[in-house]
Structure 1
Amino acid sequence: MPGSELYETFMTLHTRDGGLVMPNAWDGLSALMLAEAGFEAIATSSAAFAATLGRSDGRHEVTLGEHLEHARLFGQLTGLPVNGDFEDGYGDTPEDVAASVEAAVASGLAGIGIEDTSGNPDQPIRDFDDAVNRMRSAVNAARRRIVVTGRTDNFIQQRPDLDDTIRRLTAFAEVGADVLYAPYPPDLDALTAIVTAVAPTPVNVLISPADKVLTVAELRKAGVKRISLGPALYTHAMGALEQAAKALVTGDLTAATTGISFERISELLARGKN
């Protein structure tokens, strides 16, 4: 599917009534399982992907090439639109960010997320002007061939400044970001304020506000257009593995070996090949 057509298809999911739930996969099998469940689009999770490689998220420990290959696999296996959670755009300069967007388009991605993070733990959020310039560069490179999500990580980085968060998201929308995203606003009132301030640009929420997990229906009522899960499904699966490992240490083979059958896994893999 050509980039412009893929862009329109993916944006339609954001602008329709109810928007979409877009879960994040971490390997080929998880992508196939999410497609089998009926989701219309899936995403990578930079945190989950980094963890599968034994690396940390947000510290430039994963390369652009590695993430592109990871995201391409999801699209090849499922045929679904794939949104890439591409941290700060994998580059120090706005030109680097533009090159990453071009590479994502060439790889067939439907969407790409660009954060205002820096990878520097001493100054994790980029200055306002730098963040906006990088977003402008991403949008100019995208040229409506890939959906650009503009993201600020103020809340995740312990900067509980709602006014600055809205200022950044509004500026991202003004330079052309298609979707806006500020993970974990403190509560529903803050989320509603964000949605209202940037309307009509669609807003993504990571699971819910920080204080309470809401239902999909409650988030939609608040005006959210896209719900993503970040590494939550991955950590859920790892939680099951941790419990199985604890059971195995005590000698409980039965508890340690429950789960889907390998025949089921083979069936899903065969569908991906077809």
Structure 2
Amino acid sequence: MPITVADKRATFRKLHEAGCFVIPNPYDVGSAKALQQLGFKALASTSAGFAWTIGKADNQVTVDDVCTHLAALCAAVDLPVNADFEGGFAHEAEKVAANVARGVKTGVAGLSIEDSTGEAAKPLYDRAHAIARIKAARAAIDADKSGVLLTGRCEAFLVGQNDLNLVIDRLSAYSDAGADCLYAPGIKTKEEIAAVVKAVAPKPVNLLIGPSGLSVAQAAELGVRRISVGGSLARTAWAGFLRAAREIAEHGTFSEMAKGHPAGELNKMFG
């Protein structure tokens, strides 16, 4: 029986009720299909990883670019897909709502809105305006009873404002504004993570983990419900590509190519 968009959304919500799961971040259709075959239960898009596939820097893509990408990911796999929807591709709350409504129509099971402005002089939206943007996203999601799960993100640690009290205050406010899941990329210590989990309980927390971070088991012990890896898988893929290409360009040799994944296995995976 075909898996419907409604099925994916119901599955995604169920995953947030107990335990701890990983939503790795594919950067294109091929990587999404590969992750599905590896047995993951859900996926999340990555703004940076996707941007690099179309030759753009992170935060330089358009809402049209992203909606096309999300629709392709959702159509390619039977898993729920959570959208990295950046800041909603607009400043004004009503425009965020309009773009979120577009995002919902791509078939995503979840969608996140962050509070960073992209401006160095004032990297975070004023608290009241950030809350209004979450409320607008919530209203847009609820307008057609889609069941899409909304994640509210506080980017303070990523923009150099390492104030845990500020993060907790904002995440709590985003929860009250209608966010189903809370996320503060950049928090790393067990103390920071435990404090965020406690502050927004019983709502689930997403944790970004990189190469030097906690294990899944350690994050679960702290009460984390969901783990993502951001652009790390994309950066890993680019590292291999650039090592091989630079060897050719700089030395005229091809030894790095021996480290490539067997073509037969890739064909079997996608066949």
Same-fold call, TM > 0.5?
A: yes
- The aligned length equals 265
> What is the aligned-residue RMSD (CA, Å)?
1.8
Q: Tell whether 2:256 aligns with 1:255.
A: yes
Q: Give the equivalent residue in structure 2 for 1:205.
A: 207
Q: Give the equivalent residue in structure 1 for 2:138.
A: 139
Q: Which letter maps to 2:54?
A: L
Q: Does the Cα contact within 8 Å between 2:8 and 2:79 map onto a contact in 1?
A: no
**Would the alpha carbon gap of residues 221 and 33 (structure 1) be closer, same or farther in structure 2, given more than 3 Å must change?**
same
Q: What 5-or-longer segments of structure 1 have no aligned partner?
A: none
Q: Give the equivalent residue in structure 1 for 2:222.
A: 222
Q: Does the Cα contact within 8 Å between 2:23 and 2:43 map onto a contact in 1?
A: yes
1-structure distance, mates of 2:82, 2:58: 17
Q: Give the equivalent residue in structure 2 for 1:119.
A: 118
Determine which of 155, 163, 168 is the counterpart of 2:165: 163
By how many angstroms is 1:173 displaced? Answer: 0.5
Q: Tell whether 2:50 aligns with 1:49.
A: yes
1-structure distance, mates of 2:66, 2:112: 12
| Cα deviations by residue, 1:238-262 (Å, 9 ceiling, x for unpaired) | 1112222243332432322431233
Q: Does the Cα contact within 8 Å between 1:135 and 1:175 map onto a contact in 2?
A: yes
Of the structure 1 ranges 177-186 and 223-232, higher mean CA displacement relative to structure 2 is found in 177-186
Q: Which letter maps to 1:131?
A: A
Q: Tell whether 2:128 aligns with 1:129.
A: yes
2-structure distance, mates of 1:237, 1:117: 27
2-structure distance, mates of 1:152, 1:80: 26
**Would the alpha carbon gap of residues 178 and 36 (structure 1) be closer, same or farther in structure 2, given more than 3 Å must change?**
same
Please, what TM-score do these two structures have when normalized by structure 1? 0.91
Q: What 5-or-longer segments of structure 2 have no aligned partner?
A: none
Q: Which letter maps to 2:44?
A: A
| Cα deviations by residue, 1:103-160 (Å, 9 ceiling, x for unpaired) | 1221111010100011223212111000000001111211262110000100000001
1-structure distance, mates of 2:43, 2:237: 17
Q: Which letter maps to 2:21?
A: L
By how many angstroms is 1:186 displaced? Answer: 4.5
Q: Which letter maps to 1:93?
A: E
1-structure distance, mates of 2:35, 2:7: 23
Q: Does the Cα contact within 8 Å between 1:6 and 1:145 map onto a contact in 2?
A: no
Q: Give the equivalent residue in structure 2 for 1:172.
A: 174
1-structure distance, mates of 2:147, 2:4: 8
Q: Give the equivalent residue in structure 1 for 2:152.
A: 150
Q: Tell whether 2:37 aligns with 1:31.
A: no
2-structure distance, mates of 1:204, 1:93: 25
